[in-house]
């Protein structure tokens, strides 16, 4: 059983989109390989949700800007005494490579949008039970094909996302690791502070507290209210210690 729970809250629309994309990509990996209707619908639903997210904004442009920002930040770190210059140079080179690959890649998700099977299943997912064999015989037949054939197709779909996924993962990793968690204390279940132009809040709380945070705010200021999971009988201590990072 976990002793600590980590909550993350985006402080702008860009970070909100990135966290949703990361969540969907991890969900796709969770039930691979596709062996039955349950794992297939899990994959197709997450693929469809990811395409919906990608269609709402300039994801590629935002990630490229973030990679450039992180390179400038690493350049500043290079002048700090005690920092490993070789590691800094390796990270900068990696950011440059990922940025070049993303810039030259096709539009994110384009290969998935053009796939006939994904399109067919995506159309039926909005209908309750709409992927039954009588509604979607194409999927029924596909699931009867050899496992190797399905694996090759699914791996190709996921590989088409690699130019987007790798820079996204690195941008989030650098964001998260850029600021350490520090101990804070809430009074009567409430805490507020300045965001200092942050993109992401990371909050760690004892798993046995029976509490969860309700976070509101933006990059310059935020507020946290701790709420008991059991709204009728749960209580919030006058003073509650937790750990927080404004990334």
Per-residue confidence (pLDDT) for residue 1, from 0 to 100? 63
Residue 24, both tokens: 């969907």
Per-residue confidence (pLDDT) for residue 124, from 0 to 100? 92
Of 179, 229, 233, the C-alpha closest to 11 is: 179
Q: What are the average pLDDT values for consecutive 10-residue runs of the chain, which has 247 residues?
A: 89 95 96 94 96 91 94 84 84 94 94 95 90 91 96 97 97 93 95 88 93 88 93 88 95
Report the predicted TM-score, pTM, of the whole model to 2 decimal places: 0.92
Residue 22, both tokens: 């990361």
How big is the chain by its Cα radius of gyration, in Å? Answer: 22
Do domains 31-177 and 182-246 share one topology? The answer is no
Give the helix/strand (H/E) hosting 212.
Answer: strand 211-217
Residue 63, both tokens: 């990630």
Q: Give the position of tokens 């005690």.
A: 82
Distance CA 26, CA 173 (A): 15
CATH architecture of 182-246: Sandwich (2.60)
Per-residue confidence (pLDDT) for residue 76, from 0 to 100? 84
Domain 31-177 of CATH type 1.10.3900.10? yes
Q: Residue 141: is it exposed, middle or buried by C-beta count within 10 angstroms (0-12/13-18/19+)?
A: exposed
CA distances from 159 to 31, 88, 108, 155, 228 (A): 17, 28, 11, 6, 42
Domain-by-domain residue ranges, the chain? Answer: 31-177, 182-246
User: What would the pLDDT profile of 83-142 be if each residue is shown by its tens digit?
Assistant: 788 888 899 999 999 999 999 999 999 999 999 999 999 999 989 988 888 889 999 999
Residue 31, both tokens: 């039930």
Residues 6+ apart with CB under 8 A from 185: 191, 239, 240, 241, 242
Phi, psi torsion values for 160, nearest 5 degrees: -65, -20
């Amino acid at each position: 059983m976990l002793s600590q729970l980590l909550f993350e809250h985006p402080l702008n629309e860009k970070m909100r989109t990135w966290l949703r994309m990361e969540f969907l990509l991890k969900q796709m990996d969770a039930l691979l390989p596709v062996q039955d209707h349950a794992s297939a619908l899990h994959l197709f639903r997450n693929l469809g949700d990811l395409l919906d997210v990608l269609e709402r904004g300039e994801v590629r442009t935002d990630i490229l800007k973030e990679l450039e920002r992180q390179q400038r930040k690493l350049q500043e770190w290079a002048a700090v005494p005690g920092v490993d210059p070789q590691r800094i140079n390796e990270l900068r080179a990696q950011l440059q490579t990922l940025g070049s690959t993303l810039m030259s890649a096709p539009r994110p998700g384009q290969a998935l949008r053009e796939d006939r099977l994904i399109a067919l299943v995506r159309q039926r997912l909005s209908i309750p039970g709409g992927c039954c064999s009588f509604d979607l015989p194409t999927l029924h037949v596909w699931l009867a094909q050899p496992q190797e054939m399905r694996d090759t197709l699914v791996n190709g779909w996921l590989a088409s996302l690699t130019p987007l996924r790798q820079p996204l993962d690195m941008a989030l990793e650098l964001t998260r690791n850029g600021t350490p968690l520090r101990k804070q204390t809430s009074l009567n279940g409430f805490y507020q502070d300045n965001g200092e132009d942050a993109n992401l809040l990371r909050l760690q709380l004892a798993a046995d507290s029976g509490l969860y945070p309700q976070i509101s705010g933006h990059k310059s200021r935020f507020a946290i209210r701790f709420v008991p999971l059991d709204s009728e009988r749960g209580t919030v201590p006058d003073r509650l210690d937790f750990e927080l990072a404004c990334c």
